[in-house]
């Protein structure tokens, strides 16, 4: 940039130069005029009097021009740069990158065999607008969810309005149709640059997969599972597509890869497809056996996630709670009439699917007031890899005994830290279920943001706080109490219990289909079920709550971020108890079914489909250049984990679970499962 270098020293002397103008210069000026016509005339418009002087505006323009030129030059250089340079730089810094699994396995001679079906999870798939209100003009077939999220910033209220569902039916509100994006583009990237399925697809393509052998079963993740069939016939389409792919690929059965909530969705599908026609798909009792080779669940919240409770209860999870603590008042700011959280809550409470993730199995699975399967949890990092830096819960085996007493994971929500740690007999609890909900006094001050909390009034809120401790079982009652409408809608579609007798005809109803504890696996002894998930990341398991200070217009509860454990490595951090998991789903939820409930021939798995657990130990990316890492175990980033991709590809190319190496376990999942007393 010689321009800049030469220019800089001169600026101050400019005025003097133009002041002391010699006649010869003036002559030249007139000579120059021809070539400088544009600038001069432009300047003349602005400042008719002082022609050759540089004003502030001129300097600004000059500056902008310089920057523009510099930018263009850089852009040009960047575009002209051969493609291998960035990779070369990265390799120089981090050492040679490992071959992506696609390349490696292609060298081994793996080829496309079984068609592959992806079932995306909650939130990660795109939604687009098909019909909207006036304010959404010009957004036809544009993504409302996923992509750049440009509309969230441009017209947030309009966006919230379109993303919400009808409060009572859980379907479209009148005049609005938002539909899932179809095809592989639905969830390859969530936002530009943030991959979800793209890495897996790219690797599968290397061994010969293409659009005809890959299918993204995208569905509207806001709806309850049965409603996706009622509104969009999504389940029927999925069935037809799987049949079609199996037929056009020489009868090779499909490999299903559901992720996150997709796991539950596919569980629902497997039951639906074999049920007779009016309620189900009418595929006959051996449909799954005929069409499915393996179900490879990635990060599946089989038994729900505690995070969903916090999300429904106060629209916040650990991240939001921390943000709230750092910048108090910002999220609740009334001045900008933002009320962000309230809006988010109002919107997300209309989404039935969030209720599919409420912890299932009650106290039997998640533990009671004084008991939890994870009791005495020591981060597996400590025991297996002693040299690893430990971001887990406890400091070591010495502390184990003392800590064991204090961490009571069974209490998913407790009001106050002291309550969370005290023994159950010491706590006085007041029954909240019959408490009278007082009318809130000044409802009109709360603007148009309506959440069900306004109907509870002080009395109800107080009653909730008085009960103090909630386990997985009583959480349901709590949610029924604070959000009756939502739960009424939800309980028509989902069930959270444990079946005593699976032969009971009531279990034919679709609301039980997505609960692995209240439904049987299909009769498909050849079918393999994998539970694949990341471990080694602290995952939310239980919360310490407090009453929100300004309890009227706001959401009355919030996570007590001041509640911290005694020392650095405590499991309690910012009011959240964490256990091992993949950041979203605790190990227990992801692994229990495959570790115990479906292992061998049980009443949940009468035909004895084989199950495998594949855990992937999380190791964070070494530096920023690596992006999201190739060994990550985090809930979404695991989709780029090379070990996971390799496993998926081997199975897709024909390998069985045994050939992969059977179970691969780092966590205490088997120990914990043993503690759970469930009749099988």
Positions annotated as catalytic residues are 260, 582, 635
Q: Does residue number 248 form part of the binding site for other proteins (CB under 8 A)?
A: yes
Q: Does residue number 17 form part of the binding site for other proteins (CB under 8 A)?
A: yes
Q: Does residue number 275 form part of the binding site for other proteins (CB under 8 A)?
A: no
Q: Does residue number 94 form part of the binding site for other proteins (CB under 8 A)?
A: no
Q: Does residue number 177 form part of the binding site for other proteins (CB under 8 A)?
A: yes
Residue 179's SS3 state is strand
Q: Does residue number 276 form part of the binding site for other proteins (CB under 8 A)?
A: no
Q: Dmax of the chain from CA atoms?
A: 108
Binds other proteins (CB under 8 A): choice among 9, 48, 109, 174? 9
Q: Choose one: 236-244, 302-310, 326-334, 507-515; the region binding other proteins (CB under 8 A).
A: 236-244
- Binding marks (x or -) toward other proteins, 616..655, rule CB under 8 A? ----------------------------------------
Q: In what order do the strands lie in the sheet with 143-145?
A: 143-145, 127-131, 177-180
- Cβ proximity to other proteins, 203 vs 394, nearer residue: 203
Q: Does residue number 32 form part of the binding site for other proteins (CB under 8 A)?
A: yes
To which H or E segment does residue 539 belong?
A: strand 537-547
Burial of 28 (0-12, 13-18, 19+ CB in 10 A): exposed
Q: Which two tokens stand for residue 27?
A: 């002559």
Q: Does residue number 485 form part of the binding site for other proteins (CB under 8 A)?
A: no
Considering only residues 53 through 82, tell me which ones interact with other proteins, judged by CB under 8 A. Answer: 58, 60-66, 68-69, 72
Sequence-distant (6+) residues with CB within 8 A of 8 are: none
Degrees to nearest 5, angle at CA 144 with 140 and 149 = 125
Binds other proteins (CB under 8 A): choice among 26, 28, 286, 566? 28
- Cβ proximity to other proteins, 435 vs 653, nearer residue: 653
To which H or E segment does residue 576 belong?
A: strand 576-581
- Other beta carbons less than 10 A from residue 459's beta carbon: 14
As a whole number of Å, the end-to-end CA separation of the chain is: 75
To which H or E segment does residue 28 belong?
A: helix 23-33
Binds other proteins (CB under 8 A): choice among 113, 114, 206, 293? 206
- Cβ proximity to other proteins, 160 vs 230, nearer residue: 230
Q: Answer yes or no: are the C-beta atoms of 311 and 558 closer than 8 Å.
A: no
Binds other proteins (CB under 8 A): choice among 104, 142, 160, 243? 243
Q: Which two tokens stand for residue 214?
A: 């890959």
Which one-letter DSSP state was computed for residue 258?
Answer: E
Q: What are phi and psi of 580, to 5 degrees?
A: -70, 145
Q: Does residue number 240 form part of the binding site for other proteins (CB under 8 A)?
A: yes
Q: Does residue number 13 form part of the binding site for other proteins (CB under 8 A)?
A: yes
Characterize 98-114 residue by residue with b for buried, 16 or more Cβ atoms within 10 angstroms of its Cβ, and e for exposed: eebbbebbbeeebebbb
Binds other proteins (CB under 8 A): choice among 50, 94, 148, 233? 233
- Cβ proximity to other proteins, 58 vs 626, nearer residue: 58
Q: Which residues on neighbouring strands pair with residue 547, listed in sequence order?
A: 557
Q: Which two tokens stand for residue 407?
A: 């961490």
Least distance (Å) between residue 179 CB and other proteins: 5
Q: Does residue number 18 form part of the binding site for other proteins (CB under 8 A)?
A: yes
Residue with tokens 């009097």: 49
- Cβ proximity to other proteins, 40 vs 160, nearer residue: 40
Total of chain residues touching other proteins, rule CB under 8 A? 62
Binds other proteins (CB under 8 A): choice among 205, 338, 422, 643? 205
- Cβ proximity to other proteins, 64 vs 430, nearer residue: 64
Q: Does residue number 188 form part of the binding site for other proteins (CB under 8 A)?
A: yes
Residue 457's SS3 state is helix
Binds other proteins (CB under 8 A): choice among 1, 89, 93, 130? 130
Which one-letter DSSP state was computed for residue 388?
Answer: S
Q: Answer yes or no: are the C-beta atoms of 347 and 660 closer than 8 Å.
A: no
CA distance 652 to 673: 29
Residues that bind other proteins (CB under 8 A): 3, 6-7, 9-11, 13-14, 16-18, 24, 28, 31-32, 35-36, 38-39, 42, 58, 60-66, 68-69, 72, 83, 130-131, 140-141, 177, 179-180, 182-185, 188, 201-202, 205-206, 208, 210-212, 232-233, 236-237, 240-241, 243-244, 247-248
């Amino acid at each position: 940039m010689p321009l800049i270098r030469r220019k800089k020293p001169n600026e101050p002397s400019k005025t003097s130069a133009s002041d002391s103008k010699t006649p010869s210069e003036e002559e030249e000026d007139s000579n120059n005029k021809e070539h400088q016509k544009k600038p001069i005339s432009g300047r003349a418009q602005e400042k008719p009097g002082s022609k050759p002087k540089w004003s502030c505006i001129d300097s600004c323009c000059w500056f902008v021009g310089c920057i523009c030129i510099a930018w263009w030059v850089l852009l040009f250089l960047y575009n002209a740069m051969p493609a291998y340079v960035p990779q070369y730089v990265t390799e120089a810094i981090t050492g040679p990158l490992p071959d992506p699994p696609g390349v490696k396995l292609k060298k081994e001679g793996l080829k496309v065999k079984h068609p592959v079906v992806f079932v995306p999870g909650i939130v990660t798939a795109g939604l687009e607008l098909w019909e909207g209100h006036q304010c959404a003009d010009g957004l036809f077939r544009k993504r409302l969810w996923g992509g750049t999220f440009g509309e969230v910033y441009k017209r947030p209220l309009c966006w919230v309005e379109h993303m919400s569902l009808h409060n009572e039916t859980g379907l479209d509100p009148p005049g609005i149709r938002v539909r899932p994006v179809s095809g592989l583009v639905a969830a390859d990237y969530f936002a530009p640059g943030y991959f979800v399925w793209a890495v897996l697809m790219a690797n599968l393509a290397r061994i010969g997969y293409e659009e005809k052998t890959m299918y993204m079963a995208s569905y509207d993740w806001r709806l309850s599972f049965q409603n996706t069939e009622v509104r969009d016939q999504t389940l029927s389409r999925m069935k037809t597509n799987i049949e079609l792919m199996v037929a056009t690929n020489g009868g090779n059965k499909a490999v299903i890869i559901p992720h996150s909530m997709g796991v539950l969705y596919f569980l629902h599908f497997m039951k639906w497809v074999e049920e007779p026609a009016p309620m189900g798909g009418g595929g006959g009792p051996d449909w799954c056996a005929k069409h499915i080779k393996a179900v490879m669940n990635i990060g599946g919240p089989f038994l729900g996630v505690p995070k969903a409770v916090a999300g429904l209860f106060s629209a916040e999870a650990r991240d939001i709670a921390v943000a709230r603590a750092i910048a108090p008042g910002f999220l609740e700011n009334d001045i900008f009439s933002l009320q962000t959280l309230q809006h988010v809550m109002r919107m997300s409470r209309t989404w039935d699917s969030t209720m599919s993730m409420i912890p299932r199995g009650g106290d039997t699975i998640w533990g009671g007031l004084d008991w939890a399967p994870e009791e005495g949890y020591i981060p597996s990092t400590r025991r297996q890899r002693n040299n690893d830096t430990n971001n887990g819960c406890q400091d070591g085996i010495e502390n184990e005994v003392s800590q064991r007493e204090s961490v009571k994971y069974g209490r998913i929500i407790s009001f106050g830290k002291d309550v969370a740690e005290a023994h159950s007999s010491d706590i006085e609890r007041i029954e909240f279920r019959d408490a009278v909900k007082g009318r809130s006094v000044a409802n009109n001050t709360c603007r148009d943001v309506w959440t069900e909390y306004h109907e509870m009034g002080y009395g109800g809120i107080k009653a909730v706080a008085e009960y103090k401790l909630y386990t997985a079982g009583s959480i349901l009652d709590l949610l029924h109490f604070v959000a009756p409408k939502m739960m009424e809608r939800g309980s028509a579609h989902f069930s959270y219990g444990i079946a005593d007798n699976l032969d009971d005809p009531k279990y034919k109803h679709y609301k039980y289909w997505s609960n692995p504890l209240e439904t049987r696996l299909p009769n498909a002894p050849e079918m393999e079920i994998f539970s694949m998930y990341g471990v080694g990341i602290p995952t939310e398991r239980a919360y310490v709550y407090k009453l929100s200070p300004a309890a009227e217009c706001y959401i009355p509860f919030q996570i007590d971020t001041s509640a911290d454990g005694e020392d650095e490595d405590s499991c309690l951090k910012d009011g959240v108890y964490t256990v091992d998991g993949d950041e979203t789903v605790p190990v227990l939820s992801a692994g229990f079914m495959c570790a115990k409930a479906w292992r061998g021939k049980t009443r949940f798995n009468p035909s004895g489909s084989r199950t495998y657990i594949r855990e992937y130990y999380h190791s964070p990316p070494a530096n920023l250049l690596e992006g999201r890492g190739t060994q990550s175990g985090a809930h979404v980033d695991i989709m780029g984990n090379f070990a996971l991709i390799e496993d998926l590809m081997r199975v897709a190319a024909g390998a069985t679970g045994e050939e992969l190496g059977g179970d691969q376990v780092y966590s205490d999942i088997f120990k914990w499962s043993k503690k759970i007393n469930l009749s099988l």
